[in-house]
Amino acid sequence: MNNVAKNNSIIKDINFEIVQDWSGGFKAELNFSSEKAITEGWQLKFSAPFEIKEIYGAELVKTENNQYTIGNLDWNEKLAANSTQKIIIIANDFGQPAQKATDFELLGDNQPTGQPVEPINNQTTLKDINFEIVQDWSGGFKAELNFSSEKAITEGWQLKFSAPFEIKEIYGAELVKTENNQYTIGNLDWNEKLAANSTQKIIIIANDFGQPAQKATDFELLGDNQPAGQTVQPIPSEPEEPVTPEQPPIPDPEPKPSENPNGTGQFRYGEALQKSILFFEANRSGGLPNDKRIEWRSDSALSDGSDVGRDLTGGYYDAGDHVKFGLPMSANNTMLAWGGIEYESAYKQSGQWDELLDAVKWGTDYFLKAHVSEGGKTKELYVQVGDGHADHAYWGPPENMTMARPSFKIDPANPGSDAAAGTASALASASILFRGVDDAYSEKLLDHAKQLFEFADTYRGKYSDSVQAANPFYTSFSGYADELAEGAAWLYKATGDQKYLTRAEDIYDNEYGYPSDWTWMADNKSNSAAVLLAQESSDPKYKQMVEGWLENWINGTGNVQYSEGGLAWRTRWGSLALASATSYLAQLYNDTVKQDSRYSDFANNQIDYILGDNPRNASYVIGFGENYPLQPHHRAAAGNAPYGQPSEHILFGALVGGPGSTNDFDYNDDRNDWVTNEVGTGYNAPLTSALIQQYNNFGGDPLSNAELDALPGIVVAEV
């Protein structure tokens, strides 16, 4: 993988940034570039007053005192001159203030010190090229064009070809020239440099004038702004080894979902909702039912809980990994149920009511297993299955996991008020959802919710203090008062018992005080609790709190900023999920407490941005629209796809993290970018509830069962 390198390559730029800090450790991003191209591997030496616990994008080669050497992996042994390589480091700082690494030295190419890297030849030769039609519809198609050069290109490139079609849209390049059926496309600013043998992917949306879709031919690559190099032969009609995994074309009678049948908004919100719920099925753990709709998923983690003699199978994997974290899972379940409670008639009209019930029940069935009671009192609650460090060291589908998956619990001696109260919220909200659907199940959920809330309120403490394995993944930074207030509010909604509303108000007023300047998320329920209290309490201060909080999001004040394209941006991690959550709460407040067109306009604009109304003209929901992410950070969906290539399976409905800054183009469709391109149930839960609001307001049909069944990797039993 990585050999001992000898050549002192000059570091052009290096930046070590601590992006997350917690008690005992931190997460850092290390970005570096070399002035010269590196073709046969590299190593980076540095000094650091911390212990590296995990590293991504490199391997740890050597550790001696505070001196570290890290090296390339197979996929990034070649670096183009001036290109940036990103490394993620999880470190133990032994309780001291986090400090940066220093004294960097980059070694590359296994050559004697001082020997220059082979100069780049301007006569660039095309090494491989593949033109694959990945979607075909009446009147047009979508194609992927992948190519590589035998030599590095440092100052821009152009690709010429012949094509019997009209290019309507292009991504990953710009259209430089069109003459008859001859096209010239060229690099964008961010991809003007290409490493030797590295693959560049271009997406083309074309008009085929109603004729059978045909491939482009007669490719010629020009590099470094020099005269044409060599002309390659036309690509064969059937490549022997296509770069991307072969899959059937996606039937799509509406190739542009923005053409919204039977709706008045920009998009087919029913289809987006339908696919968002599908993502939860892709992240199911345990034994799957015979009518499962995700063809490439099967039973997994069937021994969960065996280490403690309990059946803890089921529930949801958190994100692109396979740990089951109870705190975020309960938050997500609550958010899903909330959308169903408030917009039941819209769910039924959309045809997604039964699918919502299944999604919520998959979570609540797991919570019932995780809750151990005795004599009507909570004895313990299992709040995590799986070790995050061991889990993240494994890349593969959950069906093939072999590592130990330990179970972690809270109990009176080791409390976790946040996790217990969060689970109480999930069960209480679900009990309302299932009332009139399955009354016995509804009552069972409510009984467990009452027990868990009493336990959470009586035995106070943060679950991440009792369960160290939760750190640094889901540390409870906000404490537990927000979950306690929300849990009491949900029990009031479920029971009508005034004591719960009084308790919710008391906890919120005296132990929390005011909504945070963030929004709903796994570790923060202050905003959702405030909305619940604004709905239920006669005290007007909760309305004032919610409206004050929403002003920042609507106006882009406080810590909220707006991108040029209109995204309300709060932070780089999961930026779109936060916008989705605020959209849901803003629209809900408009619908149930105080009508204000600014709230509904905000919600509509944010969700439309996510679905494709943005400067990139791209959907951030996988499988929705024509230009969506192809390489999400998700182990199961990736399958056997090599790094840099589209996932083997389309992860329909998954919302990616989104722009990492207020720059609308600060997004990477890169499997290794788990900031902007990871997916998670915590991202899709608020999106799903926001989408049912959009459907309620604007309509837009979901796919028929036949259309859904025709999607690759999706099976509908009724068809």
Residues 541 and 596 in one domain: yes
Q: Let me know if residue 442 belongs to a domain.
A: yes
111 band by pLDDT with thresholds 50, 70 and 90: very low
Is the pLDDT confidence value at 639 over 60?
yes
| pLDDT for 116 | 33
**Which residues, listed in sequence order, are joined to residue 128 by a DSSP beta bridge?**
148
Alpha-carbon separation of residue 2 from 48, 115, 195 (angstroms)? 21, 19, 18
Q: Which two tokens stand for residue 384?
A: 């995590």
- Range scoring the smallest mean pLDDT among 66-80, 587-601, 704-718: 66-80
Residues 372 and 417 in one domain: yes
Residues 58 and 159 in one domain: no
Residues 273 and 391 in one domain: yes
| pLDDT for 239 | 26
| pLDDT for 203 | 78
Determine the longest span between alpha carbons in the chain, in angstroms: 84
| Most confident of the ranges 44-48, 51-55, 378-382, 476-480 | 378-382
Helix (H, G, I), strand (E, B) or coil at 648: coil
Residues 421 and 277 in one domain: yes
The CATH number linked to 485 is 1.50.10.10
| pLDDT for 430 | 99
Which of 73, 108, 143 is at the close of a domain?
A: 108
User: Phi, psi (5° rounding) for residue 466?
Assistant: -85, -30
| pLDDT for 228 | 34
State the Cα–Cα distance between residues 98 and 96, nearest whole angstrom. 6
| pLDDT for 460 | 97
Residue span of the structural domain in which 383 resides: 269-709
Catalytic annotation, residues: 321, 633, 669, 678
List Cβ neighbours of 652 (8 Å cut-off, separation of 6 or more). 275, 278, 279, 282, 622, 623, 624, 711, 713, 714
Is the pLDDT confidence value at 252 over 50?
no
The helix or strand, by DSSP H or E, that contains position 683, with its residue range, turns out to be: helix 681-698
138 band by pLDDT with thresholds 50, 70 and 90: low
Is the pLDDT confidence value at 584 over 60?
yes
Mean pLDDT of 329-345: 98
Each residue's pLDDT tens digit, 7-26: 455 688 899 998 777 666 78
Helix 439-458 to helix 481-495 angle (10° resolution) is 150
Beta strands in 376-456 (DSSP E): 377-385, 407-410
Mean pLDDT of 551-563: 95
Is the pLDDT confidence value at 381 over 50?
yes
Q: Let me know if residue 719 belongs to a domain.
A: no
| pLDDT for 212 | 84
| pLDDT for 254 | 30
| pLDDT for 24 | 65
Residues 446 and 551 in one domain: yes
| pLDDT for 1 | 40
- Range scoring the smallest mean pLDDT among 114-118, 451-455, 491-495, 511-515: 114-118
The CATH number linked to 173 is 2.60.40.290
Whether 556 and 562 have beta carbons less than 8 Å apart is answered as yes
Q: What is the DSSP letter of 497?
A: -
| pLDDT for 490 | 99
State the Cα–Cα distance between residues 268 and 152, nearest whole angstrom. 43
96 band by pLDDT with thresholds 50, 70 and 90: confident
| pLDDT for 326 | 98
513 band by pLDDT with thresholds 50, 70 and 90: confident
Q: For the chain, what is the domain count?
A: 3
Residues 561 and 603 in one domain: yes
Q: Is the dihedral of CA 247, 249, 254, 258 positive or negative?
A: positive
| pLDDT for 123 | 45
| DSSP β-ladder status, 42-47 and 67-71 | antiparallel
| Closest C-alpha among 52, 47, 30, 40 to residue 9 | 40
Residues 199 and 274 in one domain: no
| Closest C-alpha among 614, 601, 517 to residue 567 | 614
Which of 223, 257, 277 is at the close of a domain?
A: 223
Helix (H, G, I), strand (E, B) or coil at 361: helix
| pLDDT for 237 | 26
| pLDDT for 186 | 87
Question: Can you spell out the DSSP letters for 278-330?
Answer: HHHHHTB-BSPPTT-SBTT---B-TTTTGGGTS----SB--SSS--EEHHHHH
Mean pLDDT of 151-155: 84
Sheet of strand 42-47, all strands in order from the earlier edge strand to the far edge:
7-9, 102-108, 42-47, 67-71, 59-64
Whole-number CA gyration radius for the chain: 26
Is the pLDDT confidence value at 644 over 90?
no
State the Cα–Cα distance between residues 61 and 594, nearest whole angstrom. 60
State the Cα–Cα distance between residues 329 and 283, nearest whole angstrom. 11
Residue written as tokens 């049912």? 692
Mean pLDDT of 411-415: 98
Mean pLDDT of 115-139: 63
The total of other beta-carbon atoms located within 10 Å of residue 302's CB is: 14
Whether 419 and 463 have beta carbons less than 8 Å apart is answered as yes
Q: What is the DSSP letter of 49?
A: S
State the Cα–Cα distance between residues 667 and 519, nearest whole angstrom. 22
SS (H, E, C) 64-85: ECCEEEEECCHHHCCECCCCEE
Is the pLDDT confidence value at 225 over 60?
no
Q: What is the DSSP letter of 266?
A: S
Amino acid (1-letter code) at residue 711: L
| pLDDT for 190 | 64
Residues 504 and 604 in one domain: yes
230 band by pLDDT with thresholds 50, 70 and 90: very low
| pLDDT for 175 | 84
| pLDDT for 262 | 57
Q: Let me know if residue 238 belongs to a domain.
A: no
Residues 555 and 588 in one domain: yes
Q: Let me know if residue 246 belongs to a domain.
A: no
Q: Let me know if residue 97 belongs to a domain.
A: yes
Torsion of CA 250, 253, 256, 261, to 10 degrees: -140
Beta strands in 138-181 (DSSP E): 140-149, 157-162, 166-171, 174-179
State the Cα–Cα distance between residues 441 and 430, nearest whole angstrom. 9
Mean pLDDT of 104-129: 56
- Range scoring the smallest mean pLDDT among 65-74, 497-506, 580-589: 65-74
Each residue's pLDDT tens digit, 270-287: 999 999 999 999 999 999
Q: Let me know if residue 253 belongs to a domain.
A: no
Residues 146 and 98 in one domain: no
| pLDDT for 74 | 66
| pLDDT for 687 | 99
On average, the pLDDT of the chain sits at 87
The helix or strand, by DSSP H or E, that contains position 17, with its residue range, turns out to be: strand 11-22
| pLDDT for 109 | 62
Around 572, how many Cα atoms within 13 Å sit in the side-chain half-sphere?
12
Which of 164, 190, 223 is at the close of a domain?
A: 223
Q: Is the dihedral of CA 109, 112, 117, 118 positive or negative?
A: negative
Between 31 and 244, whose confidence is greater?
31
| pLDDT for 313 | 99
Each residue's pLDDT tens digit, 456-509: 999 999 999 999 999 999 999 999 999 999 999 999 999 999 999 999 999 999
State the Cα–Cα distance between residues 423 and 455, nearest whole angstrom. 11
Residues 38 and 65 in one domain: yes
Q: Let me know if residue 574 belongs to a domain.
A: yes
C-alpha angle with apex 28: 465 to 109, nearest 5 degrees?
140
Q: Let me know if residue 64 belongs to a domain.
A: yes
| pLDDT for 224 | 62
- Range scoring the smallest mean pLDDT among 157-161, 496-500, 600-604: 157-161
